[in-house]
Amino acid sequence: MTKLFVIFGATGQQGGSLLKYMLNHSEFSKAYHFRAITRDASKPAAERLREKGVEVLQADMDKSETLRAAVSGAYGVFSVTNYWESRDADIEITQGKAVADAARAAGVSLFIWSSLPNVTKFSNGELTTVHHFDSKAKVEEYIRTLSFPCCVFIMTAFFMQNIFSPILAPPKV
């Protein structure tokens, strides 16, 4: 019997890339069935995942009941948050912790968190406005206290797609 692997952000760059890789990998695709978590399950990208046999579930990182359903029965979870959606570190921290809490409560064995280094800490307080890094690092610190059987922290490189994305645009006022 295959194990359930849940991927948050499955229609985005990180989650989508991971899911594509795992679906096309001979061993992963035999060992796991996949649940793609997205904010909008009606998107064409979500429909394309369904066509590949992926279970697609809509969840809201601000609503714990949707997170509990998202990770229910999962062996493994990959989680990533999107700072740029709100441009608010506190919101990102709350969302990241909520996913981790739901996964721990569900008995998830493998938790993978997409993290970044704490720039404020590593610059000895000289750089204090790299919020999208620091918030992910703070969630990582929290996750380390949860005692998952296995926990992995990854730090990805800058995506070339980001050059033309709204994250480099000034915030709307």
Q: What is the pLDDT of residues 6-35, one digit of tens each?
A: 999 999 989 999 999 999 999 999 999 999
The pLDDT of residue 146 is above 80: yes
Whether 102 and 123 have beta carbons less than 8 Å apart is answered as: no
Does a structural domain hold residue 173? no
pLDDT at residue 93, as a whole number = 99
- Residue ranges making up the domain that contains 126: 3-168
Report the pLDDT averaged over residues 123-137: 96
**In a 10 Å sphere around its CB, with 0-12 CB exposed, 13-18 middle and 19+ buried, how is residue 72 labelled?**
middle
pLDDT of residue 77: 99
Q: What is this structure's pTM? A: 0.90
Rounded Cα distance between 27 and 15, Å, is 19
Helix ranges (DSSP H) in 25-118: 26-31, 44-51, 64-71, 83-86, 89-105
Q: What's the distance, Cα to Cα, between the start and end of the chain in Å?
A: 51
Tokens at 131, concatenated: 């919020």
pLDDT of residue 161: 62
- Find where tokens 């890339």 sit: 17
Please count the structural domains in the chain. Answer: 1
- Strands 150-154 vs 32-38: parallel, antiparallel or unpaired: unpaired
Q: What is the CATH number of the domain that holds 68?
A: 3.40.50.720
Q: Identify whether the C-beta of residue 101 lies closer than 8 Å to the C-beta of residue 147.
A: no
pLDDT class of 97 with cuts at 50, 70, 90: very high
Percentage of residues in the chain with pLDDT exceeding 70? 91
pLDDT digit string (tens) for 155-167?
Answer: 987 655 655 666 5
- Is position 80 within any domain? yes
DSSP designation for 115: -
